[in-house]
């Protein structure tokens, strides 16, 4: 596949999507979003891919958000199109039946943070800076930030970040629960790689079902969510991978899961 605005690589069961507009701090324009969506379509059908890493090119940014320059003089119809594309992008990561790690290597601002929050796990380099900065240009988060940030960290802190538009560092993001881990810059790439390799070895059906249950469960009553968990548990319990896991445990060896 030929791409201009992303770098798309596949190795060892891991697909890496690198947002590649470093001259604009990897800001999302229409072309960039389109290419990410194309890569996700490929990931969906490639059974060898078990885990996805999303990151930014260059030393400075994961993504500085939606392309502010492209907004100048934008018609209502174009703005609507951009809004829909951003929504689609975030939902594509959220609904992908494989785990997605956002490797936040620098600024993750506005739509950049919203994209990261639609991933399953977030690892930040200690030099990363994050914020819902839309308020500074007279906007509000438009790709799910008011909802996903609030669900991650609660209304009190979400309001503080969204109303002030301030940037926070990676350690603060870790304390708030926006990222799973803040890692020293020199250990960042290796930490992301090891996590991705670890997830790539896990049973794919179990991860897929767990992801769906966690994502959907927060939107419904506990009773209904527990019923879904029971059904999901039944599905996972019927896989060949469970039998492999049990055999490997008994035989004191590492399991090899096939996603069946």
Contact positions toward ligand DAK, by CB under 6 A? 24-25, 27, 64-69, 71, 79, 82-83, 86, 107, 109-111, 133-134, 136-137, 139, 142-143
Q: Given the complex with ligand DAK, which of 33 and 40 has the nearer CB atom?
A: 33
* Comparison of 65 and 255: residue with beta carbon closer to ligand DAK: 65
Give the pair of three-digit tokens for residue 98: 């494989």
**Residue 141 phi, psi dihedral angles, 5° rounding:** -55, 135
Which helix H or strand E contains 61, and what residues bound it? strand 61-63
| Whether residue 97 lies in the annotated active site | no
Place of tokens 């690892």: 123
31, 35, 134, 240: the active-site residue: 134
Residue 99's nearest CA partner among 190, 191, 232, 199 is 199
- Nearest distance from residue 19's CB to ligand DAK, in Å? 12
**Whole-angstrom distance, CA of residue 86 vs CA of residue 116:** 12
Q: Closest separation between CB of residue 79 and ligand DAK, Å? A: 4
**Residue 59 annotated to the active site:** no
Least CB distance from residue 192 to ligand DAK, whole Å?
Answer: 22
Give the list of residues 6+ apart from residue 180 with CB closer than 8 angstroms, or none. 121, 122, 123, 174
Q: Are strands 168-169 and 129-131 parallel, antiparallel or unpaired?
A: antiparallel
Q: Which of the residues 23, 35, 94, 114 is marked catalytic? A: 114
Between 83 and 194, whose beta carbon lies closer to ligand DAK?
Answer: 83
Which residues carry out catalysis? 114, 134
């Amino acid at each position: 596949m030929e791409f201009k605005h992303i770098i798309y690589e596949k190795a060892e069961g891991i697909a890496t999507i690198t947002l590649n507009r470093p001259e604009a701090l990897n800001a999302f324009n229409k072309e960039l979003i389109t290419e990410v969506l194309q890569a996700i379509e490929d990931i969906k059908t490639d059974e060898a891919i078990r885990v996805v890493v999303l990151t930014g090119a260059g030393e400075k940014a994961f993504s500085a958000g939606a392309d502010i320059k492209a907004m100048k003089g934008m018609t209502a119809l174009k703005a609507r199109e951009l809004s829909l594309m951003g929504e689609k992008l975030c939902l594509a990561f959220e609904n992908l039946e494989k785990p997605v790690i956002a490797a936040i290597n620098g600024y993750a601002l506005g739509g950049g943070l919203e994209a990261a929050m639609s991933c399953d796990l977030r690892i930040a380099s200690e030099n990363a800076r994050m914020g819902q900065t839309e308020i500074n240009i007279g906007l509000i988060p438009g790709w799910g930030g008011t909802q996903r940030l609030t669900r991650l960290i609660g209304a009190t802190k979400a309001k503080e970040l969204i109303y002030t538009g301030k940037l926070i560092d990676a350690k603060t993001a870790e304390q708030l629960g926006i990222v799973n881990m803040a890692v020293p810059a020199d250990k960042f790439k290796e930490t992301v790689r090891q996590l991705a390799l670890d997830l790539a070895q896990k049973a794919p059906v179990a991860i897929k079902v767990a992801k769906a249950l966690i994502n959907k469960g927060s939107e419904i009553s506990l009773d209904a969510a527990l019923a879904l968990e029971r059904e999901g548990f039944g599905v996972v319990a019927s896989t060949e991978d469970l039998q492999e896991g049990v055999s490997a445990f008994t035989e004191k060896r590492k399991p090899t899961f096939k996603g069946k």
